[in-house]
Structure 1
Amino acid sequence: MSAVADDLPWPELGNVSRGATRGNQGQKGVLGPPDRDGRCVLQLRVQPGVLAVKLNRQASEWYRTLDNEVNRALKLTKTYWRKARRRQDYDARADQDHMELHEWLQQLKDKTMSQLELLMQKGDIQGPPYTMPDEIELSFLRKFIERQAAGIPHNPRLRNGTAEPYVMRDHSVDSGSPEPSDQGYTRTSLDNSDPSLISLPRPSGSPSLRNPETLQQEATSSKQALQLTRATLARAQKDTQDAFLRYTACLDTERQARQSVTAAEKRRDDVMAALLALTQSGVYTSSTPSSSTPHSQIG
């Protein structure tokens, strides 16, 4: 069975932004060890056992490959951050490429879990307990797996040889502002209160009427503005995905509550039926001697 469109848009984040982690995820996204058939159980909620799915062998292997790459990218993210903080052996272009790769990998992992929940909601994966049929393939992961096996970069700029000179903001590395701690790779949301969105540079007249220096400055500013808007779009897509996950969690809670109500109603009906049977039996037994006494006296 084919899934949705292959891969994901590449997140050109613009500035170095440590944004690919998702905070405390608990057991969410944790893949268990394989069974004798190569199937692994994937946890889809922070608390273990709340919602889990047993993947088929192929999906188990693909997800583990993706999860390993996400974890490897996180470690490399910390390495780049330390180099940036110490201003030693720091490559801004390589750092930015890695930031984009880390975010892309994490979004692909989030999409995989969302797609599995969607298949569960549609009934393609039956449960609980949910077990993924062998004929279902997470086809949007196929090109990722093929590139990974062949050692081909996932970044389309590096893959197609279209990498451009990268312009970093002056404060991206050398800023004197406080640095985040090693534990502080939390996602920073870009909303309307973000001054970088409010103070985007605006063009001042026709480009043909300005001098080369001004055009160069505006070219740099417009590129940064484009990168910021793309980052905003990526975060908006993530918010939509989070909302979908909350929605499916509410559906799961509703389903469990409905099952509890059904079980409680059945228990009540069973108790009432037993009580009614006991009452009827008691009335019949107690009425039998009293009804026979007058007849024996008359006889």
Structure 2
Amino acid sequence: MAIVITNLIILIVLYLTICAILARSMGLVKCIDPNKAYQKENRRHFLDGYKNWKSEEYIIKSFDGYELHTTYIPSAIPSKKFVILVHSSTYCRIGGIKYFNIFRKMGYNGILFDLRGHGDNKKAASTWGIKESKDLLSVIDDTVNRFGDDIKIGVHGECLGGVTALTALKYHPNISFVIADSCYNSLYSLLCKLAQQIAHVSPVLFDPAVIFFKLMFGFSYKKIFTKDSLSGNTVPICFIQGDSDCVVPIKDTMELENATTGYTEMHIFEGADHTRNILADSDRYEEIIKNFLYRVNCLELAATA
């Protein structure tokens, strides 16, 4: 009997240890090295134009003093239009270039920054949009301070980057549009799906990780819903989603679209996996952005020529 109890205790301790490790990995996410990200984007020829463009590197101090490494890329001709590009979880700001290639054709200046804990930034826990949305507000304020209060700013983000932009809307930032690519609504459902894909067991088994995560990082990811930030929002949003996304289901995008009161569009890419919509059909992706910007008065007809 004593052996059975001992073995049971060992199993419980091992189980809770695994849950604690999982919780820690959800906060301190393993990110790609910026040099490897550069090589990856370069192999896909997304950086062909970027290599010849002027750019400026600088650091923005966020609301809590955290430093955000940032890249500014001016438009080919002087312009008052700016787009802030926010990358996905585990990636870095170089991932925004493939989208900026589209915006630059339309006369936009680009602002790319590393999310906290990512890229060239100091190691820090990911808060899955909580602090990141406030970081984005700091980037918006810095951009206005640098380039004038008469500029027009929009935001493009994929996955966590898009969620960051959508979450920031509850603070009513002075922006003209958001393009949200592959964005989740329920963080708990997202992390359960990732855990299931990795461990191939019921995600319910990892529920103790919720408690460990709250003890480690100060909040419960079970209570985070992106749609809660969209109540009363009037900023136009363009939702983009792949119907073969193995991480975020289409119903999440539908829930997000139904939560906002502003103008919305939703575009589904057939056969596209998570954040792979631009890879599935780059021409259609560009056309969607161009038409959306025109409809929300952020693009003149002359700029589309």
Which interval holds the TM-score relative to the shorter structure?
under 0.3
Q: What is the TM-score when the length of structure 1 is the normalising length?
A: 0.21
- By relative contact order (CA 8 Å, sep 6+), the higher-ranking structure is 1
Larger Rg: 1
Q: What is the TM-score when the length of structure 2 is the normalising length?
A: 0.21
The structure that is strand-richer by fraction is 2
The structure that is helix-richer by fraction is 1
